[in-house]
Amino acid sequence: MRKTILIVEDHPAIIELLQKQIEILGYDALLAEDGKKAVDMAFSHLPDLILMDVVLPRMDGLEAASLIRKNPKTQSIPVLAVTARAIAGDKEKCLKSGCDGYLSKPFTYEELDAAIKRLLMNHHHNNGEQ
């Protein structure tokens, strides 16, 4: 069964690029353009992984990740922060808010693939799945 990845991004060109990359990698893609919609979609669709932009309208990605992490229904969904703001301390802020990984833009197709596979593998093992 194909895994589903929720892409949380507000820039149309990046949404299109990420959606194509996710589908090429063999995953189904869901889309949310802001943090509020990301939280709602995480609760209703229970994706296998969330690619979370940090700078978003309505609710930033860190607040959204924190809310997703606090809900028992979604707390184990891996969240990969993706951001163009690679400032000192950003990675730590992302991880502290509940993100499981961090990828700074621009990133390569290979870096995205490796990060997704690593988080899905860790999630798979942590849940005792075979």
Q: Which domains does the chain have, with CATH numbers?
A: 4-125 (3.40.50.2300)
CB within 8 A of 61, min separation 6: which ones? 8, 35, 38, 52, 53, 54, 55, 81, 83
Q: What is the mean pLDDT of residues 94-123?
A: 90
Q: How far is CA 19 from CA 24, 28, 125, in A?
A: 9, 9, 26
In the predicted structure, residue 111 carries a pLDDT above the cut 50: yes
pLDDT in tens, 67-96: 999 999 999 999 999 887 666 677 888 888
Global pTM reads 0.91
What is the chain's alpha carbon radius of gyration, rounded to the nearest angstrom? 13
Q: What is the mean pLDDT of residues 102-127?
A: 86
Q: What is the structure's pLDDT at 88?
A: 65
